[in-house]
Structure 1
Amino acid sequence: MSGMMTGGAWLAASLAASGQTHVFFVDAVLRRTLLALSEAGVAPVLAHTEKAAVYMADGHARVAGRPGIVAAQSVGAANLAAGLQDAYLARTPIVALTGRKVPAHQHRNAYQELDHAPLFAPVTRYRADVAEAADLPRALRQAFAAATATPPRPVHLDLFGLQAEVVEAGAVPGPPADLSAFRTPLHRPEPDPAAVAAAARALLAAPRVAIVAGDGASLSGCGAELLAVAEALAAPIATSLGARGIVPTRHRLHIGVAGAYAAPPANRILQEADLILMVGADTGDMLTNYWRTPAAGSRIVQIDADPLEFDRSYPAIVAVQADPRAGLRALAAELGKPVREMAYLQAAQAHVAAWRAAIAPRLASTASPIDPARLAAEITAALPADGILVADTGYSGIWTGTLVEIEPTQAYLRAAGSLGWSFPAALGAKCAAPHRKVVCWSGDGALYYHLAELETARRRGIAVTLVVNNNSGFGQGWPNLVRQAGNRPDAAAELLRFGPTDFTQVARSFGLDGIRVERPEDIAPALRRAMAADHTMVVDVATDIEARAPAPWAPEGR
């Protein structure tokens, strides 16, 4: 295709040529482009809020491995920017397109017009104004490159015109751009051999080594290399919540999620290590349980593609800048097959075995209201070998991150902190993987945020299994608030209880179907029926707000 094209035609043809299958948006923006995209076989998905559209693009990008595309007009830009926070924190590549009123209309009290740059600055790596269509080829390529650079982050293009119509109607010299090479991880830098040798010496000198694999390790896809290094060092492996499933969660070296969302064994095991190998791990408060495990002063070796992660919270005795897969592969070769003391690993395995034995009765609980631990066990059994589990933040992350078992052939996506993220993200994930089963775990408090997207699921024919952990309140904070209220549940209920709501009835009002589950023995057949459906089904599980998720271990007095 050569000659001149309109901006809208060029943008649509370029997104189609780049392998994009869906674009998520809220009207009114890029209407010419969206019509052309539909004709080119790229599905425009109209959402009901800009945040939901961003979350859909986020889920899509995490599964597809290429940038998610989201768009909104100028007056919706602030809402769209707010939705990018989760993608930024989760290191998701997203290209956000917004309309922007022309300069002659700015600074004149134009309707709902704000300065976009300050809104997007904290949640994007790169942003640019696109004043005319001729700027599109350069700007779009730079946006894709920036979004997929290490670590991936959202980017923002502000297209002139309230609905981007100035850019759409202008002229672009063809042909369209093929940006399909911009996938994550885009670059896999090799490590410095001297740094690898220094890391190997430090690790071999430490009798008790543990490994913490973070979201950067998950992005790298280095599960096999991680296991090879762990086997050589007889080192237990903990992961961030976002890296759950990078190695089989039932593997003998795996000790669970580390940090604030951990089951009891992981933090205790890490605390007993002489040295910790951090692989693609951000050392933030959630991964370290507020910097208590590892303790301050712990000996750390880091492998990370992003040099800004070195020495952020813990001084690194050796820092290896490399793609985690490349760095671990080089480290495994340098380590060879050393003879290691096994006592630390055996003690770690005993901790994990004791924890599994202690939690087992809850996984088989027959209590009603239902213990969410039983729900987690049933999802473990029901999730197919290539299934995708999408979890919300808060207790949804803890229940799934500690009690649902995940294999590397499956996928586990979790919110980086935005309540209500999971359902729209699950719809986006399903768009990216139409032949895989997608199960969403959402609390009822989270689901209220984006209930309207049930209509989107029906209209677009997106089939996910939406499991609602329905305890008629915000369960994570419930016991603390009851205590703060002087052990008066009625007083606490004014702040944290809502409903009760039968979400199956809500689903039917949107033209979908649902199954209400009030007995534990009914969970499995409900999941089978919902996952077999060719449309979104709600599995509304009546759970006990008093049930406590596993709590992390922390050192005494800290």
Structure 2
Amino acid sequence: MTEQTGAEYLARTLDAYGVSAVFLVPTSLSATLVTMERETEIKRIVTHGEKAAAYMADGYARATGRPGVCMAQNIGGANLAAGLRDPYLGCSPVIALTGGPYEFSRGRNYYQEIEDFPLFKPVTKSSRQVLDAARLPDQLDQAFRDATVGKPGPAHLELAGHTGDTIENQRIDAEIPDANIRQVPAARISPNPADIARAAEALRSAQRPVIVAGGGVRASGAGDEVVALAELLGAPLATSLNGKDTVPAGHPLAIGIPGLYSRASANEILLEADLVFYIGSQTGSQLTLTWQVPPPSTQIVHLDIEPQELGRHYPNTVPIVSDAKLGLIALLSALSDVDRSRTADWVARARTLGERWRRDLTDRLESDATPIRPERLAHELGQILPDNALVVADTGHAGMWTGGYLDLAGPNQGFLRAAGSLGWGLPAGIGAQIARPDAQVVVFTGDGGLMYHLAELETAARWNVPLVVVVNDNRSLNQEINPYTVAYGGSLNGRHHELWHFTDLDLAKVAESLGVTGIRVTRPQDFEPALARAVALNGPVLIDVVTDIDIIAPKGSAARALS
């Protein structure tokens, strides 16, 4: 055994686990950070807020499948916990390290001290206190295991001392683990053969099957297998937002994303299906349009690594507990004799619905109007993305526009999306770009989302993080038009603008003031050269695209389907 301080053990072990960056607000784990500088290549990214640190760690984790690490002292614990909501909802392996009360100070109105620990329980898979450095080795190892085994998610350790200094300064006898990159999936679960047999029979019998690839397909690296199964069955292939980059948009069976942030044609197809096969999906309200698409009576086959998700929302479910990749490999073997001709008319029907949806949108996707239509912006971005692009989409309208209108054409292009926290996009994009220097990260957000963590542009500039931020700048939170129209009695009147209008800012100039190259685009024909220039620059760039304030994304675009 080797005697060392808790700080030395923590820095060396994170390095051994393959952590290449940590994200923090000072002052937390100061001695650990110094050891990182002296003994490792780990980047220490100081952010302008604890939520942003959590979002950066989240972007890092989703981009790599390796745990992202964020840190805060005890006074910032509540802010860091708030930032874990998105990685928890997005099933992302984030490790949160915070300080905690001293033994002598607990419960004595010590300056800035509160019990932050209970705040982490709702937003983590596990939350533990380390009160003695002798427990640091096993508790740190368990946190990484919790984050990466089964359904991924955040894990939290509260280290004694306001900055974790009690644990850092204690000496322990412990060996540094052998170099072992921790990542998702940490353990692959094989399916029960009997479950595979039942699922294969249901799929073989279906006349109008649809496959929906969720985030679990992405986490498992099972994109090739899900496409192969769709081809074998002759089944239209949809994805969730989290699974968007698992299926090539140009594949003849691809139908896009159903549900709330959707294509109307995808919802129509699921409503006509006689069987839906969900793979690595929680079948939540967003993907199913609050469990209307498909209807609850639909025959479901559901493969997921988390048993409690199976049959949770659809009672007529054939369940398979399994890692997505292993489960799909088993199904491909079991279905080798399937008769694909039975679904030929169904595939043609799905293609017709998709073509009609796209044809109805042609005037908007090709519009030369100014201010720019966001449909054209999202569609054109998909057409001109670099081959190595990793798109990071904010929530709200940013998720709707990119979910429905942005196609990923290249096999090396990726997509990450916020699970619901507006403002996630910019810091998550910074974390993703730091994690993946081989990729070109392109953040898609609105001016409302950008403003949440605008100061992190300085972080990107300070570290010369070469991401591109595309801002759908409609000078507002215009997603609120419909709710406020209802609240005002059917038409906007009075001082409604106070509730959703912003000042008309030149965000390119704001970016320049924070050290980021800014480009302002007011005509649709200028966007392609702006993106080409941004990608060619070696550093962060913000493209401020002026769009129409009155255009609302087609939230839950299934009016035709549900009529």
The verdict on a shared fold, with TM-score over 0.5 as the criterion, is yes
Do the aligned residues in 1 keep the contact of 2:28 with 2:164 (CA within 8 Å)? yes
Do the aligned residues in 2 keep the contact of 1:478 with 1:545 (CA within 8 Å)? no
Do the aligned residues in 2 keep the contact of 1:237 with 1:253 (CA within 8 Å)? yes
Do the aligned residues in 1 keep the contact of 2:18 with 2:182 (CA within 8 Å)? no
Superposed displacement of residue 480, structure 1: 4.4
User: Which of the residues 398, 402, 424 maps onto 1:421?
Assistant: 424
Listed as ranges, the matches of 1:40-439 within 5 Å are 40-178=40-178, 180-339=180-339, 340-341=341-342, 342-406=344-408, 407-439=410-442
Relative distance call for 1:417 and 1:555 in structure 2 (3 A) is same
Distance 1:278 1:324 in 2: 10
Deviations 1:19-73 (CA, angstroms, capped at 9, x unpaired): 1110000001111111111231111000010000000000001112111000000
Relative distance call for 1:318 and 1:472 in structure 2 (3 A) is same
Do the aligned residues in 2 keep the contact of 1:293 with 1:554 (CA within 8 Å)? no
Superposed displacement of residue 435, structure 1: 2.5
Instruction: Report what 1:25 is aligned to.
Output: 24
User: Which of the residues 492, 503, 510 maps onto 2:507?
Assistant: 503
Higher mean displacement: 327-336 or 481-490:
481-490
Do the aligned residues in 1 keep the contact of 2:484 with 2:492 (CA within 8 Å)? no
Identity of aligned residues (%): 43
Instruction: Report what 1:513 is aligned to.
Output: 517
Structure 2 counterpart SS, 1:390: strand
Q: Runs of 4+ in structure 1 displaced over 6 angstroms? A: 555-558
- Which letter does structure 2 place at the counterpart of 1:14? T
Higher mean displacement: 66-75 or 126-135:
126-135
Superposed displacement of residue 89, structure 1: 0.5
Gaps of 5+ in 1: none
Superposed displacement of residue 479, structure 1: 4.1
Superposed displacement of residue 117, structure 1: 2.9
Deviations 1:520-546 (CA, angstroms, capped at 9, x unpaired): 111011111111111111100000021
Structure 2 counterpart SS, 1:346: helix
Distance 2:64 2:243 in 1: 17
Higher mean displacement: 354-363 or 136-145:
354-363
Relative distance call for 1:245 and 1:455 in structure 2 (3 A) is same
Gaps of 5+ in 2: none
Distance 1:92 1:255 in 2: 26
Listed as ranges, the matches of 1:6-17 within 5 Å are 6-17=5-16
Instruction: Report what 2:472 is aligned to.
Output: 469
Distance 2:277 2:325 in 1: 14
Give the count of matched residue pairs.
557
User: Which of the residues 538, 543, 548 maps onto 1:544?
Assistant: 548
Do the aligned residues in 1 keep the contact of 2:310 with 2:317 (CA within 8 Å)? no
Do the aligned residues in 2 keep the contact of 1:144 with 1:179 (CA within 8 Å)? no
Distance 1:366 1:213 in 2: 35
Distance 1:18 1:178 in 2: 8
Listed as ranges, the matches of 1:441-456 within 5 Å are 441-456=444-459
Do the aligned residues in 2 keep the contact of 1:464 with 1:537 (CA within 8 Å)? yes
Distance 1:557 1:262 in 2: 14
Superposed displacement of residue 547, structure 1: 1.9
Distance 2:263 2:554 in 1: 5
Listed as ranges, the matches of 1:526-545 within 5 Å are 526-545=530-549
- Which letter does structure 1 place at the counterpart of 2:558? W
Distance 1:224 1:42 in 2: 33
Do the aligned residues in 1 keep the contact of 2:16 with 2:181 (CA within 8 Å)? no
- Whether 1:38 and 2:43 are equivalent positions in the alignment is no
Distance 1:31 1:397 in 2: 37
Do the aligned residues in 1 keep the contact of 2:60 with 2:434 (CA within 8 Å)? yes
Distance 2:465 2:151 in 1: 30
Distance 2:437 2:8 in 1: 27
